Chain A
């Protein structure tokens, strides 16, 4: 059934700190110096190529407060529509996060180096996940809007696919952190693959899975607020519409709601995380 990639054999015994390692540290320092130097040179080069009109920076700074004054006061009259799109944003986020977490939970055990049943599956899933997250959410959204039309469905798909790419990676990385020796003990007792996963790996990774899922919910909510700008549902659609119609008082209200929404969720997730950490005595 399983080929046991986990049986990666390593000579037993701890390597002793050696002259080789000290040499390696010194080489690392030199690398860092070169990287720092290159970054500075590239920064200067980039600024020169971009050729900014710095005068605009000053005039723009004057313009900005005027804009804010123009937006003031916020217009609350559309509150029903706005709240409905807030609800839609949450629904999209919840659906996308849950979908990606559930799928990634299953797939991650097939692409962690210490539990993957075959090397083929390991590389395939890791590659798939890398592709999913390498393409930005907004690009996914544009693709799905083009394919499925406007609305929250392409938004959910875009979010879910991008999340999936990240969740597969972070879940399987967490699995790989499980002490190889613990799994060895289970194999020595004659435990099979599924038994090893559920009885051995799961108790050691579920808290980190949960905090990753929580973090991803946070990220997905942020993305969901802007997805509307490409027509993929949520509160972003309200904002882009009022901006296009130059209804700045509406726009200010929407921005305020967005801020309140994200801030509340961040507070809540901090609170939950703290509770989780306390519960685990870490």
Chain B
């Protein structure tokens, strides 16, 4: 954890998204030019109805989806122009958390967490799963942090939804990320578990000074956990500001 710089008073923009556009091959326009910046250590909630373009936006940042136009700057690197090698360097610094957890069901919990290290390893060592002692120790201490150290050797699909999402968080943390992209992390969980997961994400990001972008469709969660909220509607940014500035009529406009 030591190499992660704590976010203090001086906050540099770590992520800049500029005029980002995406049109899918079938003609669906998902993003119509989105701009925003995120400062280091900030937790930014992105809200909007399903189909507004939140997931596309997030995937354009780490280029799981190729943006059609616009720029993404991450920590001084132009992600949109990165070649394969640079992209790998960028991706391993961005931990991603998914709505459906996306774990390897038949691998162990520990194995799933260690998969977060693959971006740092050469292809053969990574494929064969020859992880360093340090990586394994780190993975175990991350599992301890998310309260799953006793489940480390269980198969991932034996865990409950909430536990699986904690494995997802642990996998992202194993990357020692500067930025966490959480795409609807609680959309398939019950309210109590949702709160628990949001607490974990919030606490870990604040403790480690990790910048975090969270897609949420529940406004209440965004208001409670995000330092700043961005509202997306039909591929455009229609709101940006603090939770207290998000008035009811604005919410209605976002979800209209």
Interface size on A, residues (CB 8 A): 28
Given A13-B51, A187-B64, A187-B91, is A199 in contact with B24 using a C-beta cutoff of 8 Å?
no
Q: Is the CB of B118 within 8 A of A192?
A: yes
Partner of B127 from A12, A182, A188, A194 at Cβ < 8 Å: A194
Q: Would you give the shortest CB distance from A57 to chain B, in whole angstroms?
A: 54
Closest to A2 in B: B84
With CB as the reference atom, state the residue of chain B lying closest to A206. Answer: B106
The complex places the Cα of A66 from the Cα of B121 at a distance, in Å, of 74
Q: A12-B55, A197-B127, A199-B126 are in contact. Are A190 and B118 (CB under 8 A)?
A: yes
How many angstroms between the C-alpha atoms of A191 and B112 in the bound complex?
A: 12
A194 to B127, CA, bound (A): 6
Bound form: Cα–Cα A204–B104 in Å: 7
Q: Per a CB cutoff under 8 Å, which of B94, B100, B106, B124 touches A203?
A: B106
- One of B62, B126, B175 near A192 (C-beta < 8 A): B126
Complex contacts, A12 vs chain B, CB 8 Å: 30, 51, 55-56, 59
CB distance from B62 to the nearest CB of A (A): 6
| Residue A139 at the chain B interface, CB threshold 8 Å | no
When A187-B91, A189-B91 are in contact, do A9 and B25 touch as well, CB less than 8 Å? yes
Closest residue of chain A to B127 (Cβ to Cβ) is: A198
User: What are some 26 contacts across the A-B interface (CB < 8 A)?
Assistant: A7-B64, A9-B66, A12-B55, A12-B59, A13-B55, A181-B98, A182-B104, A184-B98, A185-B102, A185-B103, A186-B118, A188-B96, A188-B181, A189-B115, A190-B89, A190-B91, A191-B115, A191-B118, A194-B126, A195-B123, A198-B127, A199-B118, A200-B104, A203-B104, A203-B106, A203-B107
Sample of 7 more A-B contacts, CB < 8 Å, known A11-B56, A184-B102: A7-B64, A11-B26, A12-B51, A189-B92, A191-B126, A198-B128, A200-B115
Please give me the 5 A-B residue pairs with the lowest Cβ-Cβ distance, nearest first. A190-B119, A190-B92, A185-B102, A198-B127, A191-B118
